[in-house]
Amino acid sequence: MFQTIDDLEPGQRLLVRCDLNSPVEDGTVQDNRRFSRHAETLRELLADDHAVAVLAHQGRPGRDSFVSLEQHADVLADHLDREVGFVADTFGEEALAAIRDLEGGDVLVLENARMCDEELPEEDPEVKAETEFVRTLAPEFDAYVNDAYSAAHRSHASLVGFPVVMDAYAGRVMEAEYTANSAIQTREFDGPVTMVLGGTKAEDLIPVIERVDDTVDRFCLGGIVGELFLRAAGHDVGYDVDGTEFFDHQWDDHADTIERILDEYGDRLHLATDLAYEGDDGERAEAPVEGLAKDTSYLDVGSETADAYADLVRDSEAAFVKGALGVFEDERFAHGTVEVLRAIAETDCFSVVGGGDTSRAVDLYDLDAEDFSHVSIAGGAYVRALTGEPLVGVEVLEREA
């Protein structure tokens, strides 16, 4: 196990890796659960009189979302209800001067770590520890705190280099995400375990199904992936219409695996029995899957399916959600996702809701995050945790502890 911030003496100079990677719309960074969750860790650290520099990334080079962290500092300031400094530099002279000015209770956001050439190439922690980036920043601090569980699958300098050369601790988000997201691999449950799988990418979900095989008793499928499984089951859906590009290339790549899983898992795989679409009047319309011939996009599972999945969840000892059952951002097609989340919230079972997008449905539809055992802010890292794949950022924290 790793050390946590409980093991820190008060009043230290800390380099804290957060994951503030957020949606950016028209150049504006969108507030989201990542800010509020990291703010909790930071609040605790500041109350202990630590001087804190936050290291984080945003987007990937070449994408529109690859922007400065200046706005992130402002959003964080709103959450913390205190001033948060920002410096448009990560480990150059300007950054070092701002870091040296920090006093106990101060917080400073450094510039986007991915703007540094040494950050991104995936290399071993020992190699990352030798970069100028790590060698320059490390001596400025007493300790490193990694709170960025959701980026811990990346072997980047800011995530794996520092623990090799500094005392390293897990922040509260890292601790909570690690414990809850590993539960499917580490805990035993007395009753049925249900996994709700949706979203758009078959390549994410297929390994999850195969790797949790021993733990999960039934899988409820929806979204694009659910429709691909319906196609494998012989229904006339699960292909592209009207210029969409969701299905056919995935079918080309994964049809054999999907057919094999369908065959092997049999009754444990639950597929939609009805689907929802936009009717001619612009309202939600539904149709049974049986006998359906696809001529439009299906945007949600139907009400009968939602009820059946909700019933399965109510009868579960544990429920894990990865991916949405429909396009919940549009209220007309939120029914499947929200109905199942509501059933989980009302049921006294161990529950984890994950995948950046799915957890957004919790906020959009006024569900209470407290009604779930854990609402994860991780995307790729959550999928890896479900499949039991180690996360390099966690491994290095454990190893160096």
What is the number of the residue whose Cβ is closest to ligand 3PG?
21
Element housing 399 (H / E): helix 392-400
Instruction: Report the nearest approach of ligand 3PG to the CB of residue 232 (Å).
Output: 29
Is the CB of 19 or the CB of 227 nearer to ligand 3PG? 19
- Pure H helices in 103-219: 125-129, 132-137, 162-165, 172-181, 183-186, 202-211
| CA distances in angstroms from 307 to 13, 190, 300, 318, 342, listed in the order given | 52, 24, 13, 18, 11
Q: Which residues contact 28 (CB under 8 A, 6 or more apart)?
A: 71
Stretch that binds ligand 3PG, among 82-90, 147-155, 178-186, 219-227 (CB under 6 A): 147-155
Instruction: Report the nearest approach of ligand 3PG to the CB of residue 299 (Å).
Output: 25
Size of the site for ligand 3PG (CB under 6 A): 8
| CA distances in angstroms from 207 to 68, 150, 201, 321, listed in the order given | 35, 19, 11, 15
| Whether the Cβ atoms of residue 205 and residue 225 lie closer than 8 Å to each other | yes
3-state secondary structure of 125: helix
- Quick one: which of 108, 129, 143, 151 contacts ligand 3PG (CB under 6 A)? 151
Stretch that binds ligand 3PG, among 36-44, 150-158, 270-278, 288-296 (CB under 6 A): 150-158
Binding residues for ligand 3PG restricted to 67-126, rule: CB under 6 A: none
- The pairing of strands 374-375 and 143-146 is unpaired
Binding residues for ligand 3PG restricted to 359-388, rule: CB under 6 A: 379-380
Establish if 323 lies at the interface with ligand 3PG (CB under 6 A). Answer: no
What is d(CA 371, CA 279) in angstroms, rounded to the nearest whole number? 34
Starting from the edge strand earliest in sequence, which strands make up the sheet with 318-322, in order? Answer: 269-270, 218-221, 193-197, 318-322, 350-354, 374-375
- The pairing of strands 51-55 and 143-146 is unpaired
Instruction: Report the nearest approach of ligand 3PG to the CB of residue 191 (Å).
Output: 32
**Would you give the binding string for ligand 3PG spanning residues 152-171, x where CB under 6 A is met?**
--x-----------------
Instruction: Report the nearest approach of ligand 3PG to the CB of residue 65 (Å).
Output: 9
| Whether the Cβ atoms of residue 185 and residue 162 lie closer than 8 Å to each other | no
Binding residues for ligand 3PG restricted to 7-26, rule: CB under 6 A: 19, 21
Instruction: Report the nearest approach of ligand 3PG to the CB of residue 342 (Å).
Output: 26
- Quick one: which of 30, 47, 60, 331 contacts ligand 3PG (CB under 6 A)? 60
Question: What is the 8-class DSSP label of residue 318?
Answer: E
Stretch that binds ligand 3PG, among 121-129, 149-157, 215-223, 250-258 (CB under 6 A): 149-157
Would you tell me which residues interact with ligand 3PG (CB under 6 A)? 19, 21, 60, 150-151, 154, 379-380
